[in-house]
Each structure stands twice: as structure tokens, then as C-alpha cells.
Chains A and B, each alone.
Chain A
Amino acid sequence: MSPAQPGTAETHAEPPVALVPQTAAPWRRRVAAHALAEARTVLRNGEQLVITLVLPVLLLVGLARTTVIDLGTSDRIGLVAPGVLALAVMSTAFTSQAIATGFDRRNGVLRLLATTPLGRGGLVAGKVAAVLLLEALQMTVLVGIALGLGWRPHPAGLPAALGALVLGTAAFTSLALLIAGTLRAEAVLAVANLLWVLLLAGGGVVLPVEMLPGPLAGLVTLLPSGALGEALRTALTDGTFSWGAASVLLAWTVVLGAGTVRLFRWS
């Protein structure tokens, strides 16, 4: 018996005259296609995966399960989990996004996409959607592990936490695009990674501001990293919304967003 024929492959020829005015795919499909393409690129890239997922997981488990660093509390997971969620946002919305955009800019990808029906607006929308998609994935993994480690977040604080995540994403994505749109690709790579390390160490993301030396503490609450960390800790530990931290994030978004709109260079 011969195997089934693979069908009449490729019998349809190209139409002889293709000159009807072409139309774009619907806006949602274009943005979704771009978001999925960007998310796939991150997930396929080893270094991006390390900074967005592997390191946050290691920090979550390491800080919750070991006592190498004195956290000054017995509820280690309760303190660490919100901070690691904040770090994950910083990884995806800032470091990973800045590097991807910086290299896409250098390689002419931004310019080419701007000539397709996606356009510049669709490109930005697709990037935001990709960041949110990746964050959803990160949250699923990190929250799952934290719950497994005995984390019991305050249920009343969930809407506040969601709001803080959105504000933090907006602020850090603005910073990513500002850097990616103004510096050379290699400089973007260096700055994005360096800032991630510096903010992790002393930016009030994972560890609360109170643990930093006196004068630094006040300054750090005004950084987007410190504000996002505090907003998530307040929401998930106390169940309340931190208006102060939210205002700081909003202010950063406005300033960085305006800077991006003015200074971003597409080529």
C-alpha cells in the first residue's frame, strides 16, 4: 500500500494581476503578532531568560530558605516574595526590553516595522503587550513557587498589587525605551545590565528600604525600584495601597515618557 498522497500541493498559482489596493491585517492581529514575536524572542534567548526568570527564582528560593542574609523577620517568604515580583518587573520591563529595543534599533528593525502596517504606534503597543505577557508568565511561576514555600499574601491587597505592577511596568518600560532610543546598542546593553545589578543591590527592590543605611533609605524610596518594591510589599503584606509609592511611579512615568517621546531616535 502506498502512503497517502500529500494532497495537491501548491496547485494554486499566484493571481496573474495582483494590483488591487492591499489592506492591512486588523489592528489587534498586528499588535498580537508583534507581541508574540517579541515574547518568543525573549524566551528563546538564554541571557534574557536568566535575567527574567532564572535569577528571580533563585533569589526567591535562596532568600526564603537560607539565613545567609538577616532579614530581621521570621516571615522570610512574606518579605521576599513581593520584592522578587518587583525585581521580575524590572527585569522584563526594563533590562530585557531596553536590550531588545536597542539592538532592534541598530539593526534597522524599528525602521522597517515602521514602514509596515504595524507602524510606530502598533510597534509600541506590541512591545507593551509583550512585556505584560511575559510578566504574566513570570508572576505565574514566581507566585506558584512562593505559595509552595508557604507565602500567604494579604487577599485584600491583590487589586493594589496589580495597580502597582502596572505603574511599575509603565515607569520601567519608559526608562527602557529612553535608554534604547538614545544610546548605542552596546551602551544600552551595559547600562541596562549595570542598572539592574545596582538597583537590585541598593535600590530597595527585593529588600525593604529600612534595611539600607540611613541617608540612602530616603533617597531610594524616590527611585522607581524602591517605590515599586514598597508598593508591592505594602499591598501584599498589609493589604493597603501606598499612595506615596504610586505617586513616585507615576511621576517617573510622566518624566521618562516625555523624555522618550522627545528624544527617542528611530535610527
Chain B
Amino acid sequence: MPTTTSTQRAGTPGGAADAGSAGSAGAVVASGLVKHYGSRAAVTGLDLVAPAGAITALLGPNGAGKTTTVECCEGLRRPDGGTVRVLGLDPVRDARRLRPRVGVMLQDGGLPSTVPAGEALRHLAAMYARPRDLGELSERLGLTAFARTQVRRLSGGQRQRLALAAAVIGRPEVVFLDEPSAGMDPQARLAVWELVRELRAQGVTIVLTTHQMAEAEALADHVVVVDRGAVLAAGTTAHIVGDAGAIRITLRPPDGASSTRSDEAHAASLSASLAARLLGGDGPGVTTTATAGVLEVRGAADPDLLHEITGWAVREDVLLASVTCGRRTLEDVFLDLTGRDLR
């Protein structure tokens, strides 16, 4: 049974010495990336590896440093420290060689407002030796209906789809998508996801930023949780969420009981009990949660484990007011990592 190494804390960034040769390790590699805006630090020693041919999601709250990181990878910003390599090349120094091989979708669109949508796309296609077929791509993303409409008159979702088309028109090997489905209706989002998955099937490396958990869970092979300019956790979605699943229990002391044991004490007691009774070794981890009285047991939700939990409740004389079995969601993990405070 796999133990739940649910998250892997990124260590402090070491030297960036090995980044240059890491081309085979990842299509996009950032090591110890630092970027300041004036006195404000936007990125503080960020490490990122986006495997080739996979979808990597940079997940984090607004202001976490996602866009700055991506812009450093696109060559739009020069890092103050650390290194960035895309396809083994430096995005600033080797920009000329890299630009034909990289597609970019900016968060604010980047398309001229008074130009008809179709013309804006044709303009970008002219920059590449072998662009994709305009008709086919327009059909795929439903652009044909508004090809003659000026960009400024498009809805948010239409504009996003056009920007996505612009990012892939040159048949790039690496695509950076900054908040690709912001402002889209569900149908448009599905069309975008479908295109992104198809790109992956063709071997394209995709790096996207999002603060939508559903998007990261649905699309990404690899999730990098970013907050305050650094990586909090990185790995496959399953790795981050914890493949083994979890059981959430809500404790209620029996009526009239005067015991006011803390959640922490309950968690320690349950953890010790499970470790002792389930096949030796380390038992499933038990943690408290943000909700008072709710504990989370991380481990495969099988009948044995459930039996041990209820046995513990009998011995400890606590009532299990609810038991929920299932996988943790990325949202749980995300909130655990980035905190629950509003910013």
C-alpha cells in the first residue's frame, strides 16, 4: 500500500549550475528564478521543470508569481537571478532561435483591438514558415463565426479562443498559456481543453497558469503549486493529491461528556491506534483540518481501515457524526498549502 507522500516541499534553491544541460529532463526548466519589480519581489528562487510532451499547470492564487515566471520563460522579462532554459535555450539570449518554436497566449490577449479577428490571426500566421491551416484551426475553436468582427467587439470567451489560436498557429513545440480559460463559458472551455490535450498527443509541451483547481485537475499531468514567488509543491496531480485517498471523520463527544480533548490530541491518539493495529510499520497519517472536529485519515479507504477507525471511536467514547471516504481534492491540498486567508 503506497504511503501518502502527499506533497513534496521544494527545498531552497541550490545553485543553478546544472540547469543548462537539463534539456532532456524538461522542455522548460527554471532554477532559482528571481525577479523583482522595484523593491517588490515577485519571484523568489523558483524551481520549475515542465516535462516534454506533458501539460504542466502552475497553480497559485492571484499575485503568486505565476505570470512573472511564465514571462521570464517567454523571454519577455529578464530574470534578476537564476536561470531559465526552454528547449535547452536561453529565452533572452537565444530569442531568435527560440521564438519560432514557442507559442504564447498572454493573460491580456495581445491582439490589436481595431483589427478583425481573422485578419489578426492571418497576420501572426505570416510570421512562420509552415503555419497551421487557418480554416481548420478557426473551425476547431469556433472562430469562423466572428472572423470579420473587430477584436474589441468580441466577448471575453471569444477573445480567449482567438488568443489561443494565435498561440498555436505556428505549430510550436512549447506553448505557454496564461489563464487560458478565464472568462469562457463551459462549452468554450471544453473546446480549449480538447485542443490542449490534442497538442499533448502530438508531443507538444504545454505550460499553463491557472487558479482554477478544476482546470489543473482536468488537464495537467504535472502540477506546480506556487505562492509568494516560490514553489510549495510539485509533482503529478495524483502525487500531490495523494493517490491513496482519504477518509474524513467528524467527531462529536457523546452527550453529557465533559471531555474537551483537542483535535490534535484525537489525531495523535487515532494515529497511534492505527499504527499499532494495522500491519505494523507506519500507519496512515492522521491530520486535523481547518474545520474544528474534522480529522482526515490519509490512506486507502478500505473496510479494514474503516473498521479500525470505528473501533478507536468506541474505545475513546467519541461519536463519529460523519464519515466520508474519497480522494482528497486538489482544492484541499491547495488550501492546505497556500492558507485560507483572503488576500
Chain A residues in contact with chain B, CB under 8 A? Answer: 10, 12, 14, 16-19, 21-25, 29-30, 33-34, 37, 40-41, 44-45, 103-104, 107-109, 111-119, 266-267
Contacts and interface: CB of A to CB of B under 8 A. Distances in A.
A25 B126 CA distance: 7
B123 A33 contact: yes
Contacts of A108: 106, 108-111
Interface of B: 74-76, 95-96, 99-102, 104, 106, 108-115, 119, 123-124, 126-130, 132-133, 135-136, 166, 170-173, 202-204
27 contacts: A16-B202, A17-B203, A18-B171, A21-B100, A23-B129, A23-B130, A24-B129, A40-B119, A45-B114, A104-B112, A107-B108, A107-B110, A108-B109, A108-B111, A109-B111, A112-B106, A112-B166, A115-B99, A115-B102, A115-B104, A116-B99, A116-B104, A116-B170, A117-B99, A117-B127, A119-B95, A119-B99
Nearest to A37: B123
Contacts of B111: 107-109, 112
A106 B250 CA distance: 52
B89 to A, nearest CB: 11
Nearest to B152: A107
Q: Which of the listed residues B106, B110, B171 has the most CB atoms from chain A within 10 Å of its own CB?
A: B110
Contacts of A23: 100, 128-130
B115 A37 contact: yes
Main secondary structure of the interface of B (DSSP, over half): loop
A18 B204 contact: yes
Contacts of B170: 22, 116-117
Nearest to B203: A19
B281 to A, nearest CB: 45
Please give me the 8 A-B residue pairs with the lowest Cβ-Cβ distance, nearest first.
A112-B110, A33-B126, A108-B110, A115-B104, A24-B100, A108-B108, A23-B129, A19-B203
Nearest to B74: A115
A116 B98 CA distance: 9
Contact of A21 (B74, B101, B115): B101
Given A115-B76, A266-B76, 18 more contacts: A18-B171, A19-B202, A21-B100, A22-B101, A22-B130, A23-B100, A25-B128, A34-B123, A37-B123, A40-B119, A41-B114, A45-B114, A109-B110, A109-B111, A112-B109, A116-B99, A117-B170, A267-B76
A111 B111 CA distance: 10
A21 B114 contact: no
B119 A37 contact: yes
Contact of B172 (A22, A40, A119): A22
A24 B127 contact: yes
Given A22-B170, A37-B115, A45-B114, A117 B100 contact: yes
Given A109-B111, A112-B106, A115-B104, A29 B74 contact: no
Contacts of A266: 76
Contact of A115 (B75, B126, B133): B75
A22 B129 contact: yes
A107 B110 CA distance: 6
Q: Which of B104, B124, B133 has the most CB of A within 10 A?
A: B124
A137 B235 CA distance: 58
Contacts of B124: 116
A17 B201 CA distance: 9
A85 B251 CA distance: 85
Greatest chain B CB density within 10 A among A17, A107, A113, A266 is at A107
A33 B108 CA distance: 23
B132 A14 contact: yes
Nearest to A45: B114
Contacts of B76: 111, 114-115, 266-267
B106 to A, nearest CB: 5
Nearest to A112: B110
Contacts of B128: 22-25, 117
